[in-house]
Amino acid sequence: MSLSNSTFSPAKINLFLKVRKKRVDGFHNIESRFQLINLFDEINIQKTNNKDISLRSNIKDKSFLNKNIILDACFKLQEAVGKDLGCEITVMKNIPMGAGLGGGSSNAASTLVCLNNLFKLNLSRIKLSQLGAELGADIPFFINGKNANVSGFGEILSPCDSINTKILLIYPNIHVSTKEMFDELQTQRKLQCDEKTYDEQNDFQDIFNKKFPLISDFFSQSEEDFHLKFAITGTGSSHFCFYKNELEITEFVKKIPNNWRFFNVEPLQYSPINDN
């Protein structure tokens, strides 16, 4: 009998993101296209001989270790199946947090799938997605593990082909609260008295630019100097662009501030979660 299960937990980018009306359940309806990319966290789950569920990580922050959506996913699944799922979970974080890349949701999805396999719970992906949706709107997408057009609050998935281009991803070392960004969008729309659809491909772009003008100026200057068109993913803070010219990108990344992170990534056809 297997005593552990591991998987790589991928990030995603929003190729576009439009926010529609707020629902009675508090979520917003959205329209988006989610693209998986080859930037991964790694999750390993080891069975233990007791009832405890513990979390270890290369991130040593106590708030991360004690209040994490990974643990929420464990307890949600444990409650659903009515049995103890004693285990030790190790997550190696590479995906920046609060970056609009879905790292937390991806971790929760991977945890649900790994636990399902490790403890032989035999729950369907549909059932796991239903449980995941109670924790976060992006989790059903990551459980499904395929690129998709997304609607509803994130639970309606229509599979689509992967894009086929290299991507430069920049994380400007700013943690952005998804809730705060949605609240700000709601406030702006109330002031405008309409459901304005912004010209940008992401409805949060203008809000981000106003909140973080120095970051916005950097990307505007990049477009002017290098003709690279950057867009925000999720509610931020990461931005991405597509590129073909390797030499141009090599020159550009020299301009990125030293305390920012950047990743040269490629699109994934499907998530490693499908191999579990």
Q: What is the pLDDT of residues 71-128, one digit of tens each?
A: 999 999 999 999 999 999 999 999 999 999 999 999 999 999 999 999 999 999 999 9
- Which one of the listed residues 12, 41, 93, 203 is annotated catalytic? 12
- Say if residue 33 is in the same domain as residue 137: yes
- Which one of the listed residues 93, 138, 146, 203 is annotated catalytic? 138
Q: Which two tokens stand for residue 232?
A: 């925000």
- Say if residue 17 is in the same domain as residue 60: yes
In a domain, 274, yes or no: no
Q: Is 12 considered catalytic here?
A: yes
Q: What domain range includes position 232?
A: 166-265
pTM: 0.93
Q: Is the pLDDT of residue 199 over 70?
A: no
- Say if residue 13 is in the same domain as residue 138: yes
Q: Is the pLDDT of residue 24 over 90?
A: no
Number of structural domains (the chain) is 2
Residues 92, 57 contacting (CB under 8 angstroms): yes
Provide the pLDDT confidence category of residue 194 given band limits of 50, 70 and 90: low
Residue that terminates a domain, selected from 159, 189, 213:
159
Peptide bond into 238 cis (omega under 30): no
- Say if residue 139 is in the same domain as residue 176: no
The CATH number linked to 88 is 3.30.230.10
- Say if residue 146 is in the same domain as residue 248: no
In a domain, 273, yes or no: no
Per-residue pLDDT tens over the stretch 143-177: 999 999 999 988 899 999 999 999 999 999 999 99
The predicted structure's pLDDT at residue 263: 97
Q: Is the pLDDT of residue 1 over 60?
A: no
- Say if residue 137 is in the same domain as residue 45: yes
Q: Return the number of other C-beta atoms located less than 10 Å from residue 200's C-beta.
A: 17
Calpha distance 19→120 (Å, rounded): 38
Q: Is 138 considered catalytic here?
A: yes
